[in-house]
Structure 1
Amino acid sequence: MSGPPSIEIRGSGLHIGGDWTLAHYGELRRRLAGLREELAPGRAVDLDELGSLDTAGAALLVELLGDERMADLEILAPALPAERLALLQAVAAAMAGEGEAPPSPRQSTPVVLLARIGAAVQGLWEQSLALLGFIGLTLSAMGAILLRPRRWRITSLVAHLEQSGLDAVPIVALLTFLVGAVVAFLGATILSDFGATLYTVNLVAFSFLREFGVLLTAILMAGRTASAFTAQIGSMKANEEIDAIRTLGLSPVELLVLPRVFALLIALPMLTFIAMLSGMVGGAVVCALALDISPAMYLSLLKQNIELRHFLVGIGKAPLFAFLIAVIGCLEGFKVTGSAQSVGERTTSSVVQSIFVVILLDAVAALFLMEVGW
């Protein structure tokens, strides 16, 4: 029977009537709070006078009646229409968790492992394609402005050159000095058993001119500069500043990427040269203190035994490494989706990718040069 909801205890039974709908939900909730204690498990329930019913009212009725009465609802309320009985049973099943989706079948470990390997390979392939595409975009933008000095961003170039190059000189010089000292000490320790301690000079010079100078510098730049590029561009992407640049009719690649690429192309060869000198100075200090090889003798051995081509091999790798580090750092910055977590993830990804690419290319170059006799 339609009308305001009613809940009355008459004798040994509970009589429920009226409309149990969302419009009366607040009133019903307050009235039910005081009836739960009085509704004993054995008390009968009369639903013959129940009027309109929706899911909100059905949820209150299910909560009031309890699981035992709901299980025997067809017997307790035989006059209840079939559609309301079905609604109450569906709401009861949902509240009891019976409507949850069954758990997905468990996959075997080999299948999961193969699926993850496949996903990783696909991700690597997509990342490689994106990097190649961005390299092509950067090269085309470089070619477009090289012959147009009016479009050069000199101020931005100088600022990034200071951040990427000048500010990195102390850490690069200190690290390579210490590594040079360690290499000289290890070489002296091993070569002394063969009476060939003089070749410690050759060991230090070869390692820093061909490999350690450029490799250590590139790894430092990958951790220091590529991460900075990603964080800077990623923050601009998160703040929608890159969209504003496009709205103004400017190219984000020309405005943000090229100054950073040119700055690192200039800075990394200079830092590599400083790293070579610092590493050999570190070796000279160890030779002077532990092997009684004076600085004059150290320089004389360098002139006699070390050819110019070793220096050219090392310094020739620097521009390639610089270009790839800058491009990877900028590309990962453009991939930021807008959250602080995304900025952190892309910054980490740029450092890992840069270091991996640098070491991979250095290994390939070392094998190639060894084969051609350089």
Structure 2
Amino acid sequence: MGAPADFAIEERGESGAVLRFSGNLDITTIAQLDKRLKQIDQPVALIDMADAGHIDTVGAWIVYRLARDQRCEIVNLSESGSRLVEAVGRSDISDIEPPHRPNVLSRTLAGIGEATMTALGSMLGMLGFFGALVRSVISLVAHPGRFRWAATVRHFELVGVSALGIVGLMSFLIGIVIAQQGAVQLRQFGAEVFTVNLVGRLTIRELGVLMTAIMVAGRSGSAFAAQIGTMKLTEEVDAMRTIGVSPVEALVLPRVTAAVLMMPLLGFYSMIVAMIGGAFLCWIVLEIPPATFVVRIQEVVPITDFYVGMIKAPVFGLIIALAGCYQGMQVRGNAEEVGSRTTAAVVQAIFMVIVLDAFFAVFFTEVGWG
């Protein structure tokens, strides 16, 4: 082992003192030296390294810091020591100003712009994904034997049959809520009988299909994204492409077909159950017999309301399945991506369903089906 690190200070007149290092300036010997250097209370004009031995990164940092703080020159430093001091000097960030933090307005506008660009990119990606789906449909029309009937029937069960319980309970309670709130407001005008009109038109035209779509998006759309995302993560989708199987035909098309065909049936089921809930409350609270409720529904609800609901249902099913499958196909990297893409699929599907529902409301009113 070499001599331990040490230093001596020699006076040099008005220009300042000369600090001479000696011994090995390395991590094993420099701890006490560092404390003594910090206690120097006089200006140092020159650092002489002629008597210094081995110097490592820690020693180079001590020498560099002393020269920086005292604003003095280092002389008689070996070539390797010079390289080390230069390297630690380049890594010194004490003189670098912290990055400017923009104000709240700028950050807000930047966040809005970033979210807008992300949404536009996602919309364009979904359009491209829809194009791939259409191409697969055309290919299957030419080769119907490739259609996966077993997978489609399985998804019929998962999307439709398995959802009957939760959709039925939700619809029944929504029917009760609509009837109860409508009756409370209409009672002020002595028009409780019009509660039947409110229940019938809202459930058949709007809420039956809309609430069903939201439930399917949260239940089946998320499942589509998680299933396909997990397959992407485990490279099963890549294996399909390797053996010549189209992932769109094998994974996406059965799910989209099931969602498009099951949504009208679930929507119709939701309408009926919601009206049963409304009829139950009208019978208990307003003393309107179920038979009278049914006759009144037939009188006040036009058949066009039913057509509107049935037209919207398959479109909502297509949007939900597309969002779920598209987000599942975008999974990259790790398991955390599966969760974030599943959340994105549900949010995107519900958002697009509500936007399309508003568009349909305006459109059908303009064409005289209001």
Q: Does 1:216 align with 2:223?
A: no
Alignment CA distance shift 1:203-1:60 (3 Å):
closer
What residue identity is the alignment partner of 1:48? A
Tell me which residue corresponds to 1:145.
140
1:48 partner SS: strand
Verify: 1:159 aligned to 2:161, yes or no: no
Contact kept, 8 Å, 1:141 with 1:254, in 2: the verdict is yes
Which residue pairs with 1:61 in the alignment?
Answer: 59
Give a deviation string over 1:191-225, Cα, whole Å, max 9, x none: 22222222211111111110011000001011111
Change (3 A) 1:254 1:87: same
CA distance in 1, matches of 2:172, 2:36: 85
Larger mean Cα displacement after TM superposition, 341-350 or 252-261: 341-350
Tell me whether 360-369 or 117-126 shows the greater mean CA deviation.
117-126
- What is the CA distance between 1:324 and its match in structure 2? 0.9
Looking at structure 1, the residues matched to 35 and 331 of structure 2 have their Cα atoms a distance apart, in angstroms, of 57
3-state secondary structure, aligned to 2:192 = coil
Whether contact under 8 Å (2:5, 2:33) holds in the other structure is no
Partner of 1:23: none
Instruction: Tell me if the contact between 1:70 and 1:92 (Cα under 8 Å) persists in the aligned partners.
Output: no
Q: Is the 8 A contact 1:62 1:88 kept in 2?
A: yes
Deviations, residues 246-303 of structure 1 (Å, cap 9, x unaligned): 1111111001000000111121111111100100000110111011111111112122
TM superposition shift of 1:66:
8.7
Aligned to 1:7, the other structure's residue is in SS state coil
Quote the offset at 1:86 in angstroms.
4.4
The answer for the alignment partner of 1:308 in structure 2 is 303
- Alpha-carbon distance in structure 1 between the residues aligned to 2:7 and 2:273: 100
Contact 2:168–2:269, Cα closer than 8 Å, also in 1: yes
Work out the CA distance in 1 between the residues paired with 2:6 and 2:279.
105
Tell me if the contact between 2:7 and 2:22 (Cα under 8 Å) persists in the aligned partners. no
How far apart in 1 are the matches of 2:88 and 2:262? 71
**Partners of 1:16 and 1:167 in 2: how far apart?**
80
Shift in CA distance, 40/360, structure 1 to aligned 2, threshold 3 Å: closer
1:201 paired residue number = 196
The whole-number CA distance in structure 1 between the counterparts of 2:192 and 2:344 is 43
Change (3 A) 1:91 1:130: closer
Please give the alpha-carbon distance, in whole angstroms, between the structure 1 residues aligned to 2:103 and 2:37: 51
Q: Counterpart of 1:16 in 2: which secondary structure?
A: strand
- The sequence identity of aligned pairs, in percent, is 38
1:7 to 3, 12, 15: 3
Aligned residue number for residue 241 of structure 1 = 236
What TM-score results when the alignment is normalised by the length of structure 2? Answer: 0.84
Q: Which of 119, 126, 135 does residue 124 from structure 1 map onto?
A: 119
Contact 1:15 1:46 in 2 (8 A): no
Q: TM-score, normalised by structure 1?
A: 0.83
Structure 2: unaligned runs, 5 residues or longer: 9-19, 41-46
1:260-299 paired onto structure 2 within 5 Å: 260-299=255-294
Q: Partners of 2:258 and 2:357 in 1: how far apart?
A: 22
Cα offset, 1:92, TM superposition: 5.3
Name the residue aligned to 2:108.
113
Aligned partner of 1:25 in structure 2 is: none
Say if 2:181 is the partner of 1:174: no
The alpha-carbon distance between structure 1 residues 146 and 213, as it changes in their structure 2 partners (threshold 3 A), is: farther
2:3 counterpart SS class:
strand
Using the TM superposition, give the Cα deviation of residue 343 of structure 1 relative to its aligned residue in structure 2, in angstroms: 1.1
Distance 1:351 1:49, change over 3 A: same
- Please state how far the C-alpha of 1:140 moved relative to its aligned partner: 1.9
State whether residues 230 and 350 of structure 1, in contact with CA within 8 Å, keep that contact through their aligned partners in structure 2: yes
User: Alpha carbons of 1:32 and 1:326: their partners in 2 closer, same or farther (altered >3 Å)?
Assistant: same
RMSD: 3.2
Greater shift after overlay, 28-37 or 114-123?
28-37
Aligned to 1:48: 50
Provide the rounded CA distance (Å) in 1 between the counterparts of 2:64 and 2:362.
78
Match of 1:16 among 14, 17, 23: 23
5+ residue gaps in structure 1?
A: 21-27
Per-residue deviation, 1:34: 8.8
The 3 A distance-change label for structure 1 pair 318 and 47 is same
Matches within 5 A, 1:358-373: 358-373=353-368
**Residue deviations 1:76-123 (CA, integer Å, cap 9, x gap):** x75446x5674454355357644x743333434444333333322222
Equivalent residues of 1:239, 1:338 under 8 A apart: no
User: Could you say if the C-alpha distance between residues 276 and 38 of structure 1 is closer, same or farther in structure 2, counting changes exceeding 3 Å?
Assistant: closer
Instruction: Give the aligned length.
Output: 353
Sort the Cα spacing of 1:59 and 1:197 in 2 relative to 1 into closer, same or farther, 3 A: same
What is the distance in 2 between the residues matched to 1:297 and 1:164? 35
